[in-house]
A and B are shown apart, each in its own frame.
Chain A
Amino acid sequence: MKTRPLLVIVAMAIGLMGVEASPAKADNPPMTAYCESGTLCVWWDSHYSGNRYPFQYSNPQWTDTGNAAIANDDSSSRNNGTSGLRVSIYTGPNYTDTRVVCLAMGSYTGHHSPTDSGDSNVWVSSC
């Protein structure tokens, strides 16, 4: 089991202190949840909070990238690529096992189902 970074634990504690929590709705990401164009952004926590991990390319195994910490700890995501491609997140390596979500350009989801299971991502022309 992974150990969550201290910053995230602090952020989660703050989140418990009165910040609204609506688990299913894909609310507009808050201003603090900026996702740079050209990337798939994956957040540690739901509703685009906690640490953000940007992926520019397709990755057959997140643990082999500089964003290894988000593997099996993903909770929300946004496709801000500019190519018009969709992006899919899978729970298995090499785009196997359950597809968590497929997002069109500009789309986002505030709560992954399943959560904390992501392991690979791929940009595709259709889902």
Chain B
Amino acid sequence: MLVAVGVLGVGCSRSTPSSDQQGSPSVSVDGSVFGTRDEQAVLHLAEQTLIGRCMIELGFEFQVASLPNDTLMAEPYGHDDVELSRSEGYGLERSSATRNESGEVPNVTDPNAAYTASLSPGRHQAFTEALFGPPTGRSGSADLPDGTSIGFPLEGCLADARGELYDDGEAYMSAVSIIDNLATEVQTRVTAHDDYIRARDQWRRCMKDRGYAVERPSDAVDLAFAEGNLSEIEIAVADAECSQSSSLVTTAERLEAQVWVDVLDDNAEVIAGYLELRDDAIERARFLLES
């Protein structure tokens, strides 16, 4: 069974060929496993609202968070934008400039951080257990293709909210744990492909000719971190130019489109079950937020 799904929300938008096979789950190419941005925001806010009600009933405060407009564009296969590299390098300077004293980037503030910081250690632990369930509470799990197992609580306000929103919270989490990690499976298959390995070897030789002894694109970013801001531009530009001459990124993108079809097909049943739960949940979420 083949599922044709446009995958949004996995770092960048992709589209995959459609299928006319009968019996396929009806998911349009322009649709998305995760739904539109508006649908994601509605589900997110409804889940947070239900969690908040539960936590308040248990005697805690809870600050509901809306879905932020993050724009992370993960580059698992490197980058080939020479002009951007010339002006911004890898963007590392920006990250460094916003770090706090502990060396972390405070770009996503936990909405309940101020409240929980005001609690005694014992009360904070009670807050945590009310939200995520007790340490000995019931839990569910889902197995990923590589054997990794993702666990999730089935008790606590978070689990109760998902149960109310998705009707079957365990089924929802079992499916979404797998779907959330499909991109990793795609990346694993792409980087193991002969075409990708050939392109990466060309990129490596090109970088060596430019004076950088690196094995893979992330090594170049590592080197830029170590060398400092002045070298970052030079390394990033060399990286992008070598990516272009070796067709590293374009090869990866071509393979990725092919591999997504296979990965979605392999997980068609999980995706179909998830979409059914999600579609019903969107109706509940809208009703909840309008009432």
Q: Name the one of B8, B106, B149 contacting A109, with C-beta atoms under 8 angstroms.
A: B149
- Is B251 an interface residue, CB under 8 A from the partner? no
- Chain A residues near B63 (CB-CB < 8 A): 82
Stretch at the interface among B18-26, B108-116, B241-249, B280-288: B108-116
Supposing A55-B104, A99-B76, A105-B158 touch, asked if A85 and B68 sit within 8 A by C-beta, the answer is yes
Q: Name the one of A34, A65, A66, A124 contacting B72, with C-beta atoms under 8 angstroms.
A: A124
Cβ–Cβ contact B47 & A84, under 8 A: yes
Supposing A96-B221, A122-B72 touch, asked if A57 and B104 sit within 8 A by C-beta, the answer is yes
- Is B180 an interface residue, CB under 8 A from the partner? yes
Within B175-198, the residues touching A (CB, 8 Å) are 176-177, 179-181, 183-184, 187-188, 191
Cβ–Cβ contact B225 & A126, under 8 A: no
| Residue in B closest to A37 when the chains form the complex, CB atoms | B128
- Is B59 an interface residue, CB under 8 A from the partner? no
Tell me how many residues of B have a C-beta within 8 Å of chain A: 80
Supposing A27-B151, A37-B127, A98-B76 touch, asked if A92 and B218 sit within 8 A by C-beta, the answer is yes
| Residue in B closest to A102 when the chains form the complex, CB atoms | B180
Interface residues of B (CB under 8 A from A): 8-10, 34, 40, 44, 47-48, 51, 62-63, 65, 67-70, 72, 74-76, 78, 90-92, 95-96, 99-100, 102-108, 110-113, 116, 124-125, 127-128, 131-132, 135-137, 139, 141, 143, 146-153, 156, 158-159, 173, 176-177, 179-181, 183-184, 187-188, 191, 216-218, 221-222, 225
Interface residues of A (CB under 8 A from B): 24-31, 33-39, 55-61, 64-66, 80-86, 88, 90-113, 119, 122-127
